[in-house]
Amino acid sequence: MHYIQQLAAGVIGDVESGKTLTEALAQAQRQGDLPPPERAALQDISYGSLRHLGRLRFWLRRLVAKPLPEARVERLLMVAMYQLTHTRAAEYAVVNEAVKMAERLEQGRFKGLVNGVLRNFLRQREALIAAADRDLEAATSHPRWWIKAMQKAYPQEWQRVLETNNSHPPMTLRVNRRHGDAKAYLDALRQAGMEGEALDDTAVLLARPVNVRELPGFAEGRVSVQDWGAQQAARLLDLQPGQHVLDACAAPGGKTCHMLEIADVDVTALDIDAQRLQRVRDNLDRIGLNATLLAADAGQADTFAEGRRFDRILADVPCSASGVVRRHPDIKWLRRPGDFAALARQQAAMVDALWPLLASGGKMLYATCSIFPEENQQQLTAFLSRHADAVCLEQRQLLPCERHDGFYYALLEKH
């Protein structure tokens, strides 16, 4: 266990230094050369520690008033406290293994401290939990600036959203309409010993997450994993047979595939990263459908448009990803208040570059996985002020809940 604790503490350190959790965890798993059960344990502890990092930091400062000169010891303590409060591991094993790990750091001079801090934590646990519940940043495990921004934007819902961010995400499936519907797929799930719930005619919410290899028909393209909120994009575009569609920032390809499952359209899937485009190709191959893939910058239309006009454009712009925090808990610790101005400029430049590619009477869907108004409603208002030929037909702000993540959509028509 102490090796898992060491790797998890390293993941937290990498995230604190600016790496994404995905990158840090992948590196730790390669470094550790772990068997599947231990890889799963490392992932659970890494994700869980970052979900609850605000609370863990609060407890650490209550137990050790001043920061320690060795940051790895602090991270080890937080990982152990996460295990003691959120896993089934035996308390004595967590403490003993953490002490073993401390023996390997700084010639073991923090061994006694680690032992004492964790035993104090166990003795004071109820009081520490109560104290954290009275501290807003610790109770919500979000940065204070994020909490304030949420309170301003959603005065009635901010607390529920922050609580949702700290929960485990649902696993939702998108049934390929060309191979049946949600009702038929639920029957297949039950035959395979799994349970789920139909959210609409092609969306199924699983009762429990499973490995995709266990899903009936997954390899044959009968079903894909996609959040229900993300599934709204293709539906909103009002796709009709024969239309030319541009999917800007297409990787990893979930929305690209969904559009092709819905209608016989000609899709150009664009992404700036050629390697990420391979994931789009892999997903298309699995479902047995095809699109034109282009590695290009959506903000520089002259490099790929070649005079073409599109009937539909999906502008899935780069954003803070504040709506998918429960899937990527590092986001709330990596983002800074100043990020939004830079993101807003990037988003505006992209949609302004894409708008001329839309045919008259065509529709463009502005999409983010953000819940902050600076990236959503405020961007829409600014865009409409710059483009007199644009009309907003519909906008939706989805907040994270038990059934879907957070997304924003604005459907624009060119007149």
Count the Cβ atoms, other than its own, within 10 Å of residue 72: 19
Q: Tell me the mean pLDDT in the region 6-12.
A: 95
Give domain 171-226's CATH number out of 1.10.645.10, 3.30.70.1170, 2.60.40.10, 1.20.140.150: 3.30.70.1170
Range with the lowest mean pLDDT among 73-87, 114-128, 236-250, 291-305? 291-305
Is 90 exceeded by the pLDDT of residue 34?
no
Instruction: Output the average pLDDT for the chain.
Output: 95
Name the nearest CA neighbour of 74 among 41, 43, 46, 98. 98
Angle between helices 2-16 and 36-51 (to 10 degrees): 40
Selected catalytic residue, list 249, 319, 369, 401: 369
Give tens-digit pLDDT for 218-268. 999 999 999 999 999 999 999 999 999 999 999 999 999 999 999 999 999
Count the Cβ atoms, other than its own, within 10 Å of residue 190: 12
Give Cα separations from 370 to 50, 246, 253, 303, 407 (angstroms). 19, 21, 19, 28, 6
Specify the pLDDT at position 106: 82
Quote the DSSP letter at residue 89.
Answer: S
In the chain, the percentage of residues whose pLDDT exceeds 90 is 92
Task: Give the domain 232-414 fold.
Answer: Rossmann fold (3.40.50)
pTM of the model: 0.94
369 counts as catalytic: yes
Dihedrals phi, psi of 118, to nearest 5 degrees = -70, -35
Q: Which two tokens stand for residue 94?
A: 């967590």
The CATH superfamily of 2-139 is NusB-like (1.10.940.10)
Specify the pLDDT at position 30: 86
pLDDT-derived band at 114 (thresholds 50, 70, 90) equals very high
Dihedrals phi, psi of 283, to nearest 5 degrees = -65, -40
Q: Tell me the mean pLDDT in the region 66-77.
A: 94
Q: Which two tokens stand for residue 232?
A: 């709204």
Range list of H helices, 33-154: 36-51, 53-63, 71-86, 91-103, 111-133, 136-140, 144-153
Q: Where are the domains of the chain?
A: 2-139, 171-226, 232-414
Is 80 exceeded by the pLDDT of residue 35?
yes
